[in-house]
Structure 1
Amino acid sequence: MANSQLLVPEAKNGLSKFKNEVASEMGVQFSDYNGNLSSRQCGSVGGEMVKRMVQQYESGIK
């Protein structure tokens, strides 16, 4: 059974801002409707977000 409840609701705005910053740097424009974007574009933004979060985490534990 899937749980769609947010674990940290306060993080939603921060992640949205982060997503838009990364997308902007990559030349991908997100909006309320993203049906005109390819899966590759959306996936590359998500992948870059994860990469940066992992790097930030790793730099904090060293």
Structure 2
Amino acid sequence: MAEGQRTNKKLIPQASAGMEQFKWETARELGIQVPQGGYMGDLPSRINGAIGGNMVKKMIAAYEQSLAQGQQPPTPQVTNQNPTP
């Protein structure tokens, strides 16, 4: 997808760089060969979906681990970014 067509908004914009790095790490762990330059738009949606799905699994596992250790993980304040008129 072209850069100007993205509609997803981060709940915490400061996390963009970390999420991007997390995506590449997850792809490497899955053995997905990321092309030079990092463009992944020509990969099949099945592969990109596998990356996203594994990212979610890892985030849920980290959240569960923090709960198991008795820590209260931070929860972001979600606001409606596209209010209807």
Match for residue 39 of structure 1 among 5, 24, 45? 45
In the alignment, the residues of structure 2 paired with residue 21 and residue 46 of structure 1 have an alpha-carbon distance, to the nearest angstrom, of 11
> Percent identity at matched positions?
41
- What is the TM-score normalised by the length of structure 1? 0.81
Cα distance change of structure 1 residues 6 and 61 upon mapping to structure 2, 3 Å threshold: same
**Structure 1 outlier segments of 4+, above 6 Å:** none
Q: How many residues align?
A: 59
Q: Which has the larger radius of gyration?
A: 2
Pairwise CA RMSD:
1.8
Structure 1 unpaired stretches of 5+ = none
1:6 equivalenced with 2:10 (yes/no): yes
* Matching residue of 1:18: 22
> After superposition, what is the alpha-carbon deviation per residue over 1:4-38, rounded to whole angstroms, capped at 9, x for unaligned?
5532111000000000000011122161x322200
TM-score normalised according to structure 2 size: 0.61
Unaligned runs of 5+ in 2: 1-6, 69-85
SS in structure 2 at match of 1:10: helix
- Residue 58 of structure 1: aligned partner: 64
Structure ranking higher in helix proportion: 1
